[in-house]
Amino acid sequence: MSVKPISARSTRWLKTVHIVLAGLWLGGATGLVAMNLGLDATSGGQLFGQDLAMKLIDDFVVIPAAIGTLITGLLYSIFTKWGFFKHTWVIVKWAITLIAIIMGTFFLGPWLNSLPPISSAQGLEAFADPIYQQNRTLNLWFACLQVATLLTATWLSVFKPWAKGKGRRVGDAS
């Protein structure tokens, strides 16, 4: 079954939305790492506020942007010349996207979601709670890994290593 490609104008709009969503995903994930590293709460309320702010950024920026990036990437692969399996860099980018979403869904999200209830109930004593400490530490390290993978996906989009054909233009980002 052959799918009719979309117009050049529609492709540009789809690319724009895809890039904006990927930027929100990367920016939100980077912001969560920065917030976790910049922890200097001097009261239980501050600690709970930071944990809640990180959860809200995850719920309302990172998750929707990740889903939107996945959906626009699917549309881009279906309706443009790039496809799913024509280029190694596209395959690697798909793998990165899926791994990042799976990692966020099953690990990062649950670890992050566990923090506000603990800090709300325990205040600064949450720092002595082994579950709180473990989840916060795991969330930080895996979030750093996720940011690195998203930066790699961005690099792949710009440089397109392993691209086939001579018709590739430097400005073709997906």
170 exposure class (CB count in 10 Å sphere: 0-12, 13-18, 19+): exposed
Whether the pLDDT of residue 166 is over 60: the answer is no
CA dist., res. 57 & res. 64, Å (int): 10
pLDDT tens profile 78-135: 998 888 888 888 899 999 999 999 999 999 999 999 999 999 999 999 999 999 999 9
CA dist., res. 146 & res. 103, Å (int): 8
Q: What is the pLDDT of residue 100?
A: 96
Contact 68, 31 (CB under 8 A): no
| Cβ count near 146 (within 10 Å) | 26
To the nearest whole number, what is the mean pLDDT of the chain?
91
Structure tokens at 71: 């959906």
| Beta-carbon contacts of residue 42 (< 8 Å; ≥ 6 apart) | none
CB burial of 81-119 (b: ≥16 within 10 Å; e: otherwise) equals: ebeeeebebbeebbebbeebbebbeebbbebbbbbbebb
Q: What is the pLDDT of residue 26?
A: 98
Q: Residue 2 is which amino acid? A: S
